[in-house]
Structure 1
Amino acid sequence: MHVLVVHNRYSSAQPSGENRVVDEEVELLRAAGHRVDLFERRSDDIAARSLPGKVAVPLLVPWNPAVRTELAARLRAERPDVVHVHNVFPLLSPAVLAGCADAGVPVVATLHNYTQVCPPGTLHRDGRPCEECVGTVAALPAVRHGCYRGSRLATVPLAVSMTVNRRRWWSGVERFFCISATQRDILVRSGMPAERLLVKHNFVPDPGARREGAGEQLLFLGRLTESKGVRLLMAAWDALAADGGPGVPLVLAGAGPMEAEVAAWAAGRDDVRYAGLYDPAECRRAVARSIAVVAPSMSQETFGLVVAEAMAAGVPAVAAGHGAFVELVEDGVSGLLHRPGDADSLASCLRRITADPAANREMGRTARHRYDQSFSPAVGLERLVEGYRTAIAGRSGGADGAPPVGNTNAGPRRDTGAGRKWGQ
C-alpha cells in the first residue's frame, strides 16, 4: 500500500506525543513493507519567517491556498492509495482536504484531540471540564473566554477554522480514527457522522525492558500544566506527606508552564524530585523503575500514552477516572482510578498502590497482558491497515463515502459496532 502522511509538526521546544505517534506509525508501516511518504510543515520554521510572514500565520489557519495547490500536484504525480491526515495547525490548514479532493485520493484522519468541536482541542477551561462549544455552529464561547493561550485574538483563527471548515471535514474524510471510544462518543454527540468514526487506539512500541521487583518510585511523566493535574498531584502529595507519606519518592519529569513552580515545590525535599525533561531512553528506564505511573489529568484525555507505556513495562497506573483512562485502566485490576479533580481520592490511591507490593505486581502483570492484547505494534498495524482499506472501499463504493454493505463500524455508537470491530 502507498500512503501519504500529512502532518504539521509541533514545536520541538515542547515534546509532542502526537509527533511521536506519527513517527512511530510511519516506521511501523515501512517495516511492514508499505511505502510511506510525508507531506509536512514544521512549526519550528515560523521563527525564521520575516515579520510580515509571522503576522500572516494566523490568516493561514483557516485556509492556506498554496498548500492546496502543492498537495494536489504532488498527489497527481505520485498517486498514493490513501492520504492519512494528522495535525494541520497552523501552517497546513484544512486546505489539504481540498487538495485531496482535487486529486481524487481518499482521506483518513486521526483525531488526536477535540479540535473538531473545541478550538484549543482540550475540552478544558479555567481548571475544569468545558463543553460549551460542543454541538454549536460557531465557537463563540471559546472566543469570549480566550480559550487558546488565554487570548481572544489568538482564539479567533481556530474558531473561524472550526466553523467554516466543519462540513468540509465531515464530507472530505472517508474515515476518522478516534483514539478512544470516549472521544468517539463526544464527537457523535456533537453531530459528526457516526458511520465515519472508527475507534483505533494508539499503539506503543515494546520498551524491551519490564519492571523487575516492586519498583522504587512513583512517577509523573508529562507536560507540566494544570490541565495535566500537576497542581492536584502536588496537593495530594502534600496531604500524604503530612500524614507520614507513602514511604517512596515522587519523581516528576517533563517541561511546561509550571516548571518553575514544580522545581520550587520540590527543592529541599527528600520525598520529591523534579527531574526535568527526559529523553526517550530515560523515560523508558524511569517507567521500568516505578511502582506506578501517575496520570491525574483534569481534562478528558483522548488516549493517554504514558499509561499505555507503563502497561508495556508491566507497571500499573494511578489515573483520573474519566476520559480514555477508564478504557485503559481497569480499576483495582490493572491500576487504580481516582475521582477526577479530587486530591483526597488521588492521595488515597497513591497510598493504596504502594501499600501492597504483591497486589501491585499482579496489577503490573495484568497491565502487560492488556498491552499485548490491545496496544502492541502488531495490533496497531492490523487496525491501521484495515482502516485504510475501509476508507478506500468507502470511496470506491460511492461519492458520498458511505461504508460498504456489512461494515460493522456503521450505525450509532450504542450499537458498539466499532468496539467489536477493533476488539475492545
Structure 2
Amino acid sequence: MGSGSRSSSSFSVGTHAAVCECHAAGSGFRLARRDDKNRTGIREDSELTSRLRICLVSAAYRPYPSGVSEHVHGLALGLRELGQKVTILTTNFPRLESGSDPVRVVRLGRAVLIPMNRSYATLPVGMDLAGQVRRFLRENCFDIVHCHGLFWPEISYWAFRYSDAVNVFTNLTAGFKTGAAGSGLFRRLFRSQLARVHGRIAISVRSRAAVEAYVPGEYRIIPCGVDTNRFRPRTASIPECAHRQPVILFLGRLDKRKGLSVLLKAMPRVLRSQPKTRLVVVGTGPMELAARRFVASAGLKDSVSFVGRVSPDDLPAYFAGSDIYCSPALGGETFGIVLLEAMASGVAVVASNIPGYDEVVTDGIDGILSPPGDAKAMSLALLRLIDDHGLRRRLAEAGLRRSRQFAWPSVARATLNYYLELMDSKSASASVSA
C-alpha cells in the first residue's frame, strides 16, 4: 500500500451529486449514487458466524456529547447484536456523570478539552497513560483493535503502539488540511505507527480526503449509522414548546463551528412572517453566554428556549417533537450523524450546504441545503418549510426513507465483514512469511 494508492473498492463521483460506491468482494457494503432510483444504501452478502474480541478505542465517548461518541456507541451495540464481544477503551470526563452502559467500558486517564477545528477535541492525559494502555491490551487478547484516532499523545496512539491485534483506523474528523505541507513530515515522524495500521475506514468522501495525505493507503468507505429503533417518528411533546407551533430544533455543541449564531440571526425574519415559531436550543458550550445575550438584545426571549444538556434517553423526544431540524454548521463536518437522527425521526431537515452534509442530504429531495454562514438564506429556507406544509411532509418522508439506508445493523455488518477480510489477509501474509 503506497502513499499514492486509492481505495481498492470501486469509487466514483457522478454528475448528479453522487456520493460514492464502495463494493469489494465480501465487503457487504455499497453507498448509493445520488442518481440511483432505488437509492439503495447497504446490502448484506453473507452470514457471519465468527465471534471476535473487539476493542473500540476513542478519546470521545459518552457522556461527552459528540458525533464521535454516538458513532462509537452505535457501532458497539451493532457489533454486539451480531454476536461479537465488544469492549470500549476511552477516558474519564471528570465533570460529567458516566452512567451505565450496555457494553463493557474501560476508562483510563482523564479528558482535557483543547481547541481544534473551530471546536474542541478531547485529549486523554494521565501520569502513566501509555503504561496503562499497554497493560490493558496485554491482559485482554483482542482480535481487532479499532481506533477512532491515531495521533500522539491521545489514547489511540498508544493503542496502535502496543496492540498485537489486527489494527483498524477510522477517521471521523475534518481537522486536517488536504495536501498540507506538514503531511510528509508527519508520515516520517509516525512511520512506525502507520506501519501498524492494517485497515482504514473513512465514513465519507470528505473524511477520506481530510486524512489520506497523513494516513495513506487503501480506505474502505463505510458511513455512520443511525439507530432507527431509537430515532423514529412518534407522537411526542416537548415541555419547552407547549402551545407553540412550528418548532425548530437546534441540537449540538454551542461553539463557533456549529453555527448557532447564524440561526439566531435568521430568527427575526422568520418571526416577522411566522410569529408563533419557536426555536429550541439543546446543548452547551463556550458560545452559550454570547448566544443568550444576543437573544435578549434582539427581543427573542419569548421565542427561543435554551434547554442545556439533555440525556441521551431524552434526545429522541426532542427530535420527534419538532417540526424542523436545523443544522447551520459552518464547516469541518465529515458526515452528519445528527442529520440522520432527525431524518429517522420523521423531521424535515434544513442544513448548511457543506462537505459531509451534502453526502447525507440531497437539496430539495430529502432536505434543504442552505449556503453556510448566510442568515438570510437560512431564514428563507426555514420559511419555505414553515409556509408549505406539503413540502415539509414530502421532505420528511423522503428523509425517513433515506435514513433507513444507514440503519446500524447494516453498517455494523459491513464493518464486521471488513474486520474478517483484514484478519484473513493478515493470516495469509503470516503464512507466506513463514
Q: Is TM > 0.5 for Structure 1 vs Structure 2?
A: yes
Q: Does 1:229 align with 2:259?
A: yes
| Matching residue of 1:409 | none
Q: Does 1:262 align with 2:324?
A: no
SS for the counterpart of 1:83 is strand
SS for the counterpart of 2:429 is coil
Separation (CA, whole Å) in 2 of partners of 1:211 and 1:48: 36
| Matching residue of 1:53 | none
Runs ≥4 residues deviating over 6 A: 57-61
| Matching residue of 1:203 | 225
Post-superposition CA distance 1:348-390 (Å, at most 9, x none): 11111211111111111111111112x1122112211122122
Could you tell me which of 49, 67, 77 is aligned with 1:27?
Answer: 77
Aligned partners of 2:93 and 2:111 also within 8 Å: no
| Matching residue of 1:92 | 155
1:236-275 alignment runs, 5 A limit: 236-241=266-271, 243-245=272-274, 247-267=276-296, 269-275=301-307
1:377-388 alignment runs, 5 A limit: 377-388=408-419
1:390-401 alignment runs, 5 A limit: 390-398=421-429
**Distance of aligned partners of 1:39 and 1:225 in 2 relative to their CA distance in 1, 3 Å threshold:** closer
Displacement of 1:324 after TM fit? 1.2
| Matching residue of 2:375 | 343
Q: Amino acid of the residue matched to residue 137 of structure 1?
A: G
TM-score by length of 1: 0.72
| Matching residue of 1:193 | 216
1:32-71 alignment runs, 5 A limit: 32-44=82-94, 65-67=130-132, 69-71=134-136
**What is the alpha-carbon root mean square deviation over aligned residues?**
3.3
| Matching residue of 2:168 | 108
| Matching residue of 2:46 | none
Post-superposition CA distance 1:116-149 (Å, at most 9, x none): xx3xxxxxxxxxxxx3x7432269xxxxxxxxxx
Separation (CA, whole Å) in 2 of partners of 1:379 and 1:327: 18
Aligned partners of 2:91 and 2:109 also within 8 Å: no
Separation (CA, whole Å) in 1 of partners of 2:210 and 2:111: 38
Aligned partners of 2:56 and 2:89 also within 8 Å: yes
Q: Does 1:300 align with 2:332?
A: yes
Aligned partners of 1:216 and 1:289 also within 8 Å: no
Q: Does 1:173 align with 2:197?
A: yes
| Matching residue of 1:135 | 180
Separation (CA, whole Å) in 2 of partners of 1:211 and 1:361: 14
Aligned partners of 2:91 and 2:111 also within 8 Å: no
Post-superposition CA distance 1:269-293 (Å, at most 9, x none): 2222212222223221111122211
Separation (CA, whole Å) in 1 of partners of 2:313 and 2:156: 33
Displacement of 1:261 after TM fit? 2.1
| Matching residue of 1:415 | none
Separation (CA, whole Å) in 2 of partners of 1:270 and 1:192: 49
Separation (CA, whole Å) in 1 of partners of 2:146 and 2:380: 43
Displacement of 1:228 after TM fit? 0.4
| Matching residue of 2:11 | none
Separation (CA, whole Å) in 2 of partners of 1:11 and 1:31: 19
**Distance of aligned partners of 1:222 and 1:2 in 2 relative to their CA distance in 1, 3 Å threshold:** same
**Distance of aligned partners of 1:278 and 1:191 in 2 relative to their CA distance in 1, 3 Å threshold:** closer
**Distance of aligned partners of 1:198 and 1:254 in 2 relative to their CA distance in 1, 3 Å threshold:** same
Aligned partners of 2:145 and 2:166 also within 8 Å: yes
Q: Amino acid of the residue matched to residue 182 of structure 2?
A: V
Segments of 5+ residues of structure 2 without an aligned counterpart are 1-50, 95-107, 113-121, 237-243
Could you tell me which of 139, 144, 147 is aligned with 1:82?
Answer: 144
Aligned partners of 1:71 and 1:99 also within 8 Å: no
Aligned partners of 2:54 and 2:84 also within 8 Å: no
**Distance of aligned partners of 1:365 and 1:285 in 2 relative to their CA distance in 1, 3 Å threshold:** same
Aligned partners of 2:62 and 2:70 also within 8 Å: no
Aligned partners of 2:187 and 2:215 also within 8 Å: no
SS for the counterpart of 1:309 is helix
SS for the counterpart of 1:4 is strand
Percent identical pairs in the alignment equals 25
Aligned partners of 1:3 and 1:84 also within 8 Å: no
Q: Amino acid of the residue matched to residue 70 of structure 1?
A: R
Separation (CA, whole Å) in 2 of partners of 1:58 and 1:388: 27
Which stretch of the first structure deviates more once superposed, 382-391 or 260-269?
260-269
Separation (CA, whole Å) in 2 of partners of 1:72 and 1:46: 15
Separation (CA, whole Å) in 2 of partners of 1:387 and 1:48: 30
| Matching residue of 2:239 | none
Separation (CA, whole Å) in 2 of partners of 1:180 and 1:323: 10
**Distance of aligned partners of 1:165 and 1:59 in 2 relative to their CA distance in 1, 3 Å threshold:** farther
Q: Does 1:333 align with 2:365?
A: yes
Displacement of 1:393 after TM fit? 2.9
**Distance of aligned partners of 1:186 and 1:110 in 2 relative to their CA distance in 1, 3 Å threshold:** closer
